[in-house]
Structure 1
Amino acid sequence: MGPFDKENKELRRALHLLTSKAERNQSILQSFFEMEIRLLGCNKLDELLDLILIEFREYFRLTAVNLVLFDPENAARDLLEDYVPPEPGHSLRFVNNQRLLKSIFPTPELRAGELSSPLKKLAFPSTPFVLSSALLPLVRQNCLIGSLHLGSNDPGRYSQHLDYNYISHMASVIAVCIENCINQQNLKRLSIIDMLTKVHNRRSFDQEIIKELSRSSRHQTPLSCLFIDLDYFKLVNDKYGHQIGDKVLSSIGQLLKKNLRKTDLIARYGGEEFAVLLPNCNSEKAIEIGNNLRQKILQMIIHNSDSKPFRISASIGITYCSSEQLLQADLDQVAHNILKAADDGVYLAKQNGRNRVEYQPLPDTQPRLTESLHSA
């Protein structure tokens, strides 16, 4: 083989390597681009976290993915009451100060390669067999809001000698997505949640009752409604002050959330009045639930500003809508009738001595047009 042939062969080999490397890089960039599109499409924080903590691990063939979020005001945690992070433990951590983040990032720059033993314990406390990693600072408006840790059991996967601009770019996207999800969901919560009791507000309840009635109509299931009115609540405010009154309302909200199903809708309907929708619940079960809540409220011990205990009771009105009553019915009229019947039940409970449950049947909700056609 002549020198030109040999040189030509080497050039072809180098060109093949460069082409393969370019194709591989293009494939990597395409996979990151596709993942960024999915990140930007997340509207809820729990969906975003599942994408990062679960799907990243599978999609990018990683050994571990951990996330630390700076959450001093519980803005993120309040949105994740029912969220369960994936195993192993510590895949998701919240911190109230930046001490941990500052120890991982003395400067807000990506760290890649093999970690020292102390740093590995900070970044991957439940995954000691990580042999190389990329630690990504999540920065928004010059503030370190979190840290994303990508770990691999391949010692050559990440190296401090390589450039990871595409990963740094994705970290910026993730930081934006986290902030957007938190802001959007908190704005929505402000419009539907009563901030004192952390249950739905009246506006939200009035919207949801129509949706629940529509759902009950489609699935042919019953719907029950409870109105809970605290007895002599004005005396609590007058005797102990509005701060203690607020404490009572907040405690009632937590009690209701603790003792009702996730599918039940709880709302603060008025000053000291709460409304509850119980989907797929008949009248007998609703009365049983009402009595259980009445007893739980009566057993609840509250302390005033002098740490002296006192109790409070509640009068509860209950009504029930069967699937038959929803046939061809005007849902707005049914909603009006449900609220009136439950409110009448509260009034009756107050009349009969308070601290009791009273059931009020729902009046006929069939439209007059149906009756006229039937008569004709």
Structure 2
Amino acid sequence: MGPIDKENKDLRRSLHLLASKVERNEAILRSFFEIELRLLSCSNLAELLDLILIDFKQHFRLTAVNLILFDPECAARCLLEDYTPPEPGHSLRFVTNQRLLKSLFPTSELRIGELSAPLKSIAFPSNPYVLSSALLPLIRHNCLIGSLHLGSNDPARYSEHFDYDYIGHLASVIAVCFENCINQQNLKRLSIIDMLTKVNNRRAFDQEIIRELSRASRNKTPLSCLFIDLDYFKLVNDSFGHQVGDKVLRSVGLLLNKNLRKTDFVARYGGEEFAILLPNCDSEKAIEIGNQLRHKILHMVVHNNDNEPFRVSASIGVTSCCHSSFAFDNLDAQAHAVLKAADEAVYLAKEKGRNRIEYRSLPDMKPELFSQLSGDLKSI
């Protein structure tokens, strides 16, 4: 083989290696582009966390993915009350100050390669098999809001000798997504939560009862509704002032949230009235639950501005519907019938002396009543 042939052979080998490298880089970029689109499409914080902590690990074939978030006002944690991070337990951590984050990123630049033992204990506290890693600072508006840790058991996976601009870009996208998800969820939360009592508001209840009626009809399960009206609440406001009245409403809202199932739905329906939906709960069980709540409210102690204790009572109306009572496809009409029966039961409880519970069954949903209910709905 002559010198020219050898040179051509070496050149072809170099071109082949270069083409292979280009193909690998293109595959990596496509992979990151796909992940970036999925990140930007996340609509809530739990979905975003699952994508980062679970899907990243599988997609990038990593040994560990851990995340630390700066959450000084518990804005993120309030949105994740029912969220369970994947194992191990240290995959997701929240911090209320930036000391830990700044110890990871003294220069706000990503860290690549093998970590020292102290840093590894912070970044991967429950995974000793991480031999190389990429620690990504999450920065928004020049503020360090978190740290994402990608760990591999391959010591050559992440090396300080390589360029990782695409990982730095991914960190920027993730930081934006966290900010967007938290802001969007908080805005949505503000639109459906009663700010005084921290339970759902009437708008949320009116939407939820349609969903629950649809589910009950589809699954052929009962649905019960409770209306709770605090007795002589105007007297509380007149005697002690509206601040004490607000304290009573907050206390009742907290009591209801603490004493019901996660599947139950509590809302402040208006003024001193609360409404509760009890899915998969028949009339007998609903009356039992109503009496338990009435008893707890009666024994709840509130203090006025002079620190003097006093108590309040409640009148409770209950109604239930089962599959056989779903006479129409129009769920608005069905919802109106449920609310009307529960409201009438409350008035009956008040007429009979207050601090009691009354049950009112749904009227027979005969076809001739449909037009009347539809007319009532239009007038609301």
State the TM-score, normalized to the length of structure 2.
Answer: 0.90
CA distance in structure 1 between the partners assigned to 2:364 and 2:24 by the alignment = 70
State the one-letter code of the partner of 2:347.
Y
CA distance in structure 2 between the partners assigned to 1:235 and 1:104 by the alignment = 58
State the one-letter code of the partner of 2:40.
L
1:163 aligned to 2:163?
yes
Q: Which residue of 1 aligns with 2:345?
A: 345
Q: Which residue of 1 aligns with 2:78?
A: 78
Count of residues in correspondence between the two structures = 371
1:325/1:366 contact within 8 Å kept: no
**Displacement, 1:188?**
1.1
SS across alignment from 1:200: coil
**Displacement, 1:169?**
0.9
Deviations 1:165-188 (A, max 9, x none): 111111111111111111111111
2:201/2:267 contact within 8 Å kept: yes
Change in Cα spacing, 1:100 to 1:324, as seen in structure 2 (3 Å) is same
Q: Which residue of 2 aligns with 1:230?
A: 230
SS across alignment from 2:90: coil
CA distance in structure 2 between the partners assigned to 1:63 and 1:330 by the alignment = 52
Change in Cα spacing, 1:121 to 1:241, as seen in structure 2 (3 Å) is farther
CA distance in structure 1 between the partners assigned to 2:329 and 2:37 by the alignment = 44
* Runs of 5+ unmatched residues, structure 1: 372-376
Q: Which residue of 1 aligns with 2:249?
A: 249
Q: Which residue of 1 aligns with 2:22?
A: 22
SS across alignment from 2:17: helix
Deviations 1:249-287 (A, max 9, x none): 223223222322222221100122110112222111111
CA distance in structure 1 between the partners assigned to 2:130 and 2:196 by the alignment = 45
**Displacement, 1:313?**
2.5
2:112/2:133 contact within 8 Å kept: yes
Aligned-CA RMSD value? 2.2
CA distance in structure 1 between the partners assigned to 2:26 and 2:89 by the alignment = 34
Moved more, 163-172 or 325-334: 325-334
SS across alignment from 1:174: helix
CA distance in structure 1 between the partners assigned to 2:17 and 2:163 by the alignment = 19
Q: Which residue of 2 aligns with 1:315?
A: 315
State the one-letter code of the partner of 2:321.
C
2:327/2:365 contact within 8 Å kept: no
Moved more, 272-281 or 4-13: 4-13
* Runs of 5+ unmatched residues, structure 2: 372-380
Q: Which residue of 2 aligns with 1:175?
A: 175
Deviations 1:178-224 (A, max 9, x none): 11111111111111111222221011212222232233333333221
Q: Which residue of 2 aligns with 1:374?
A: none
State the one-letter code of the partner of 1:262.
K
CA distance in structure 2 between the partners assigned to 1:312 and 1:119 by the alignment = 56
Q: Which residue of 2 aligns with 1:12?
A: 12
Moved more, 331-340 or 194-203: 331-340
**Displacement, 1:65?**
0.8
Moved more, 290-299 or 21-30: 290-299
SS across alignment from 1:228: strand
Q: Which residue of 2 aligns with 1:135?
A: 135
1:277 aligned to 2:277?
yes
Runs of 4+ aligned residues of structure 1 deviating over 6 Å after TM superposition are none
**Displacement, 1:241?**
4.2
